[in-house]
Amino acid sequence: MGIKKVFKSKISGTVYAPSSKSVILRAIALSLLTNGNTVIRNINFSDDVLAAINIVTELGVKTNISKETLVLESKGKIKNSTIYNLNCGESGLCLRMFSPILSLFKNRYILDGTGSLKNRTVEMVEKGLNKLGASCISNSGFLPVEINGQINGADITIDGSISSQFLSGLLIALPLCTQNSNIKVKNLKSRPYIDLTLKMVREAGIIIKESEKNIFTVKGNQKYNPFDIVAEGDWSGASFMLTAGAISGEIIVKNLQNNSFQADKVILDVLGIAGAEIKKNNDFIVVKKKDLNPFEFDISESPDLFSPIAVLAANCDGKSIINGTNRLKYKESKRGEVIKKEFKLLGIRAEIFKNRIEIYGGNIGGGKVSANNDHRIAMALAIMGISSIKGVEIDGWESVSKSYKDFFSDLQNIGGNIK
């Protein structure tokens, strides 16, 4: 892993948000179940997207890539094989979403991953699939996981407090079961991402009803229609650029939808609460630095925003409180602990409590820090660098390729002083 150093910078200019991997990964998964050609436009080939493409290709989908367009040709079924060894890379969404989808077919699958994904629990997947009639065996709650047999559709209750991604996989898979299903979800977090899944399956011809809040009725024996979509911009990746404008200048971010189902569009709410100037337009967002004030915000529905919000807090003079942080330990790194450790090296104090983190903003000194093999930590530390006194030297900056390959070049193009 290499090192980049980000120095104090004046941010000014326009950047295009990368396309949403949340949308793209769902579209790739849906393509496996359609009989025909699925087209995804405005695609970016981050590591997580490449992992999903490799999975469906291994299962028999033919792919054709032309610039920023991906065409997936599927017959709606998986080619016969004794065993499939599939690698999800470091993508938790790939693992949790494809597990129930693969359980529709009579094959044996071994799902594995790399890096931080090896340390993330698969207990929800294992218990859920076994309840639905498949055989699912993990490595004591971790990868690899072996899936054998078919889910049949059933009434099931699942816990959505750790992640909503397995529920997304169930909502995609269960319409193809022979039986009807009812899913009751307790403690559902990140609800906007379930709304995104529902929107996409409905656009592909599937009917799913929500009889009561977080109780989903899924009719069996349905079929997916091929579709052609333009992937919208990614609010998660764009949140770092928007934060950069709020702390050090002015930025215009294009390719973002104000009516998006992505949970992380609430970054604009946080920036506004802290005092940044925000202007919304139909096809771009403007964020301008003003005097920033300490704030309090709950990230229960948008945990991926923790890293940019922590950077914002570090640039406010006083104590900011970030609530809803207990899910951070299930991410690529234990992000709360990592932020506390790395921010301390830069002169910023953070204190961790049961379900909140308090950050005491002020002067950001500088120094050498580690991305801890976490793409969002790498981006956060880079944004810390643009308001630092001595510059921030980041070991392991390459991890941004997991979701936003062009992050550093985009930051440099809007004034980031990077060496």
What CATH number has the domain bearing residue 143? 3.65.10.10
Q: Is pLDDT at 333 greater than 70 in this prediction?
A: no
Q: Tell me the average pLDDT of the chain.
A: 94
Q: Which range of residues forms the domain containing residue 48?
A: 21-230
Q: Is pLDDT at 332 greater than 60 in this prediction?
A: no
Summarised one tens digit per residue, pLDDT across range 259-316 is 999 999 999 999 999 999 999 988 899 999 999 999 999 999 999 999 999 999 999 9
How many domains is the chain partitioned into structurally?
2
Q: Is pLDDT at 75 greater than 90 in this prediction?
A: yes
| Last residue of one domain, picked from the residues 169, 198, 230 | 230
| Last residue of one domain, picked from the residues 230, 252, 286 | 230
Distance CA(184)–CA(123), nearest Å, equals 18
Same domain membership, residue 14 and residue 25: no
What pLDDT does residue 18 have? Answer: 96
Classify residue 20 by its DSSP letter: P
Region 157-177: mean pLDDT is 93
Summarised one tens digit per residue, pLDDT across range 387-413 is 999 999 999 999 999 999 999 999 999
Distance CA(84)–CA(220), nearest Å, equals 26
Same domain membership, residue 52 and residue 127: yes
Distance CA(22)–CA(16), nearest Å, equals 17
What pLDDT does residue 330 have? Answer: 60
What pLDDT does residue 284 have? Answer: 92
End-to-end, the C-alpha distance of the chain in Å comes to 15
CB neighbours (10 Å) of residue 85?
A: 12
**To 10 degrees, the CA torsion angle through 260, 261, 262, 267?**
60
Portion of the chain with pLDDT greater than 70, in percent: 99
Same domain membership, residue 386 and residue 306: yes
Same domain membership, residue 112 and residue 87: yes
What pLDDT does residue 78 have? Answer: 86
Active site (catalytic) residues: 304
Q: Are the C-beta atoms of 317 and 294 separated by less than 8 Å?
A: yes
pTM of the model: 0.94
Portion of the chain with pLDDT greater than 90, in percent: 88
Same domain membership, residue 247 and residue 393: yes
Q: Is pLDDT at 331 greater than 70 in this prediction?
A: no
What pLDDT does residue 153 have? Answer: 85
193 φ, ψ to 5°? -75, -25
Region 185-211: mean pLDDT is 94
Kindly state the tokens that stand for 194: 């379930």
